[in-house]
Structure 1
Amino acid sequence: MVARTANADTNTPKAFIPEVRQPDFDLADDVPKYWWANDPAKTLLLAALSASFPPGERFFIDSVRHYQKHITDPELKAAVRGFIGQEAHHSKEHKALNGYMQDRGIHLDRLEREIQGLMNGLRRHLSPERQLAHTVAVEHFTALLAEEFLLKYNALEEMDPRMASIWAWHAIEESEHKSVAFDVYKTIGGSEFVRVTEMMAVSVMFPLFSGIHLVQLMKEDGQLFNLKSWLGGLNYMWGKPGVFRRLLPAYFSYYSPDFHPRNHDARGLVERAKRKWLGPVMRKVS
């Protein structure tokens, strides 16, 4: 594949260049074990996702960085630097969060190793173009979860505030950089067939691994037969408010040839979240 020069096709105006922040979170001993609504299923679902972030974020950085030398547009170059900076901090902070939860009896080390093995396999078997397409697809998933799951509904308000600040920060930055990998993919002339088929693969892998890991964590924690927790989580995701169900239109928009991540405008949600959650725990890096 021959790269082409970035030009006016990129959709990363200055307002969307990601800002790198240095968080300083308080993971105190008195944070409840089930820090989301005192609910095992909800808490362990996010714990399972957190286990995937350190190896996943490193993969995303590498897939974008592979094409960094082909980018000449100044704004997209700045956006890529911001993307890399934000994802590096996400990996670091979730590594610390995973260690904190591991020490409190939520066994995430094995899950993280499994995801690392998956990422290593993708590096070995996928072309650089398809690795970037994988990143683009997962970034769409995580941006939707951030915007419509964490920022739009009351999930953050139901969490212990010290945990909520971590997830709010991550959600805000996922929204801020959600178009960067896509813009790089378009800049290097990425195939639409590869983009769409990789999303199909991610649409199986993402919920499959998340679901398996949640079941494993619930079993290890003695909560596998906690029907109240399972039913409450299923209702929250698919019933009322039905967060995952409400994501479907935005998810399917990915398959349109006119898709761009910024078509799903969540700037209002993000700005409100910044005012509420990005306070003294955050220091701007660049």
Structure 2
Amino acid sequence: MSQITVRQKNFNFSPQIQRYWYGNSAFKTHFFNSITLLFPDGEQFMLRTIKRQIKQIENTQLKQEAAAFVGQEAQHAVQHEKFWQILYQQGYTFDIYLRCLRFILFNVCEKRLSIKFKLAMIAGVEHFTNVIAELTLKEELFADAEPIMKELFEWHSAEEIEHKTVAYDVFQDVTQSYLIRILGIIMAYTFVLGFVNLGLLIMLHHDKKLLNFKVWQEMVQFLFSEEKIFFKVFSHSIKYLKVNFHPSERDNLFLIERVIG
């Protein structure tokens, strides 16, 4: 039986959520707003790909875990997209962003990549989200965020850790090619970081803060000098390059206990 639980969540985002809900920081708020813009369609691409592959999986345990993965990712997509209404109410528009994102995901990646490369890319994305999820829970990154946003990101992070092995195992079930795996994570990081930065710039442009010194000071502090997120993500990410890498080698399941039990 799968140890991955599909939880039905129903976040209610109040219109009273502050514009800069992460410690009154424009950079941190829009960094994670941008991730929220990326998640729903990104999750749809992943769950659709995995769902189509399930019938090809012969291992019963992995088949059950893949089905639970699909259920969890569907919930993530729905709950993050609900927050978009708050962003719209705050005056943000991101239709062009979404058109670009959907073209790359569904017209290019989904239609043109082989199943091996799609799964390799998804495994790479899942490695990235697992790294961020571990930092979120281990270092309580959202301690200064509004409670509902803290709950959203911590719940999502806990479930990312809970299903951290699934996408990788589904990829390995199709091919164990090291070259494809590495090309997959390069594509994944290029895609994720590219769209996170694009979303961030769009949000800051709306606020007329692209040239605001304080915003870029917050960026330096968050990424390089105080939280040092860049260095922590990099040090975790390069472990994926090991020939015998497997997500289970990272001992972080204990982190999810306070969030999802």
State if a TM-score over 0.5 links the two structures: yes
Please show how residues 100-249 of structure 1 align to structure 2 within 5 Å: 100-120=86-106, 121-148=108-135, 150-249=136-235
Contact 1:98 1:108 (C-alpha < 8 Å) held by counterparts: no
- Between the two structures, name the one with larger relative contact order (CA 8 Å, sep ≥ 6): 1
User: What residue in structure 2 maps to residue 90 of structure 1?
Assistant: 76
- Per mean C-alpha deviation after superposition, the further-off stretch among 184-193 and 45-54 is 184-193
* 1:123 Cα offset (Å): 1.5
What TM-score comes out, normalization by structure 1 length? 0.86
Cα deviation for residue 219 of structure 1 reads 1.0
Offset at 1:243?
1.9
8 A contact 2:120–2:171 mirrored in 1: yes
State the partner residue of 1:32. Answer: 18
* Cα offset, 1:154, TM superposition: 3.2
Runs of 4+ in 1 over 6 A off after TM superposition: none
**How many residues get paired?**
260
For 2:212 and 2:204, how far apart are their aligned partners in 1? 9
Partner SS for 2:16: coil
- Aligned pair 1:45/2:31, yes or no? yes
In structure 1, what is the Cα distance between the partners aligned to 2:206 and 2:32? 16
Q: In structure 1, what is the Cα distance between the partners aligned to 2:84 and 2:96?
A: 11
Using the alignment, how far apart are the partners of 1:178 and 1:112 within structure 2? 27
Aligned-residue offset at 1:156: 1.5
What do residues 103-144 of structure 1 show as CA deviations (whole Å, max 9, x unaligned)? 222323432332111102111221111111110000100111
Q: Displacement of 1:190 after TM fit?
A: 4.0
Cα distance in 2 between the residues matched to 1:126 and 1:273:
36
Identity of aligned residues (%): 28
Could you tell me whether the CA contact under 8 Å between 2:54 and 2:67 is conserved in 1? no
Are the equivalent residues in 1 in contact too, given 2:20–2:29 (CA < 8 A)?
yes
CA distance in 2: counterparts of 1:154 and 1:189, whole angstroms: 36
Q: After superposition, what is the alpha-carbon deviation per residue over 1:125-168, rounded to whole angstroms, capped at 9, x for unaligned?
A: 211111111100001001111111x1122322110001111111
Alignment partners' CA distance in 1, 2:71 and 2:138: 25
- 8 Å CA contact 2:122, 2:184 repeated in 1: no
| Partner Cα distance (1:113, 1:266) in 2 | 36
- CA drift at 1:273: 3.3
Unpaired runs of at least 5, structure 1: 1-13, 276-286
Distance 1:182 1:132 in 2: 8
- 1:18 corresponds to: 4
Which amino acid in structure 1 is aligned with residue 82 of structure 2?
Answer: A
Moved more, 75-84 or 221-230: 221-230
Deviations 1:19-75 (A, max 9, x none): 111112231122111110011111111111111111111110122122211222222
| Cα distance in 2 for residues equivalent to 1:262 and 1:244 | 23
Structure 2 residue aligned with 1:267, among 249, 253, 259? Answer: 253
Take 2:56 and 2:183, find their aligned partners in 1: how far apart are those partners? Answer: 24
